Structure 1
Amino acid sequence: MAINNVDIYGDEWLELVFANRNKSYGAYELRKHYSATVLKALAVTFGFFGVVAFGAFLLLKPAPIAARPIGREVTTVLQPIVIARPEAAAPVHHSHHHTRNGHTYSPAPAVQANPQPQTSRVPAGTVNVLPSETGGSEANRISVIEDKTVYSPANADEKPLPVGGAQGWMNYLQKNLVYPEDARQKKISGRVELSFIVEKDGRISDITVEQPAGHGFDEEAVRVLQQSPAWQPGIKDGQPVRIRYHLPVSFRMMK
């Protein structure tokens, strides 16, 4: 037999090596079934990793999301609320007439020394007193302006704070955001840009999709923001104010 023509991976080479040797010892069987054993081991290994990857795909959750405030100020000016407050009625002076020698005399009106100006108590807040154009016969008009300006976080003395702080907000989003089924089936990722206002009482309002992503991403992000617990409101000059935040929400498929 010519050795140069022998396939070292075939049975012919194995028979040549174990010629005149004890084939029942074990080494012969191991070498004879070596290729089949390796193929089985590879099949089991790839099958195991395939099951793990498929399970991770089924349990896929959105990536962590963090609120990123953008220093843009949006101002909303509303018409003042006008409250009419009647003027105090002027005192009525009764004239006392005296008759002397057939003539009637009326005493001169009494003049009060150093009269004190009248003051009226008005509600606390920013007020503008508008004088009457027709004199004292018409009520004074007091304009009370409610501050409904929407500030950016950079202009607040104290920024709004979600329940549990930044980590609590991240945990809330991770727990409640659900990957849209349509996007999951199509293996689509997306990023939604939203903005919302933290009101003076901490409620979230005016949720706006600034940059939509489609495939159900926009609706899912808005749904979770609408269900958000109330925040601790922002403070400016010692008073709660309205603050607008911008929030990017990213949905990604894990590979």
Structure 2
Amino acid sequence: MSKPRKDAPLKMPRYRGGDDAMLAFLQDNLNYPKQALEQKIEGVVEVAFDVDGRGRVFNARVIQSLGFGCDEEVLRLVELLKFEKAYNKGRNVCLHKKVKVRFKLPQAKPDPLVRYSLVPNKTESKEENPQKMSYTIRF
């Protein structure tokens, strides 16, 4: 059995860009489940997972469930995460991590107060004056 190197510092696995980048990745790639949209479900799913010395995610499990397909979506996203390699004194280490992902219904864009279109009035007279035009505004 070899002795661990004493000069190698502890390097924990971290997501490239930090925790903010990881949360941004999760929110950008989150697909709201159809069943949750139909039932208008909002809430938080908390997931715990382990990261091995090579930066791969394994043993992902749901701690706080929301249901309606949200749990499966978060597990799918967590398995896509890639972390940097981790080691302590030359040996690979494992990290245990928890993440909370918030599901919030997308906000509908408000309709403009007034919708209008300009339609030129057609006059049936034979004399058309190009300088005089009239329009009707339709709401």
Secondary structure of the residue aligned to 1:178 is coil
- Tell me, in whole angstroms, the C-alpha distance in 2 between the residues paired with 1:200 and 1:175: 26
The aligned counterpart of 2:103 is: 251
TM-score, normalised by the number of residues in structure 2: 0.64
Do residues 210 (structure 1) and 88 (structure 2) align? no
Q: TM-score, normalised by structure 1?
A: 0.37
**Which position in structure 1 is the counterpart of 2:135?**
none
What letter corresponds to residue 190 of structure 1 in structure 2? G
How much has 1:199 moved relative to structure 2?
Answer: 0.3
Whether the 8 Å contact between 2:13 and 2:53 is mirrored in structure 1 is: no
Residue deviations 1:143-163 (CA, integer Å, cap 9, x gap): xxxxxxxxxxxxx94332112
Counterpart secondary structure, 1:223: helix
Q: Deviations over 1:171-214 (max 9, x none)?
A: 21122111111111221102111100110111000001112110
1:187 aligned partner, one-letter code? K
- Structure 1 position 244, deviation (Å): 0.2
Higher helix share goes to which structure? Answer: 1
Give the deviation of 1:216 after TM superposition: 0.7
Map of 1:227 onto structure 2: 80
Larger strand fraction of residues: 2
**Contact 1:158–1:234 under 8 Å retained in 2:** yes
Q: What amino acid is aligned across from residue 17 of structure 2 in structure 1? A: G
1:193–1:170 distance in 2 versus 1, CA, 3 Å: closer
Match of 1:181 in 2: 34
User: Is the CA contact (8 Å cut-off) linking 1:233 and 1:242 kept in structure 2?
Assistant: no
Identity, % of aligned positions: 30
| Structure 1 segment 3-152 matched on structure 2, within 5 A | 124-125=2-3
Pairs within 5 Å for 1:194-205: 194-205=47-58
Note if contact 1:190-1:217 (Cα within 8 Å) is conserved in structure 2: no
In 2, the alpha carbon distance for the partners of 1:168 and 1:194 equals: 17
Match of 1:240 in 2: 92
Secondary structure of 2:93's aligned partner:
strand
Deviation beyond 2 Å, 4+ runs, structure 1: 123-126, 156-159, 163-168, 233-240
* Matched residue count: 103
Please give the root-mean-square deviation of Cα atoms over the aligned residues, in Å: 2.2
Q: Larger relative contact order (C-alpha < 8 A, sep ≥ 6)? A: 2
Q: In structure 1, which of residues 140, 159, 165 is the aligned counterpart of residue 12 of structure 2?
A: 159
Q: Residue type of the partner of 1:212?
A: S
Compute the displacement of 1:125 (Å): 4.8
Structure 1: stretches of 5+ with no match in the other structure = 1-122, 127-155
Gaps of 5+ in 2: 108-139
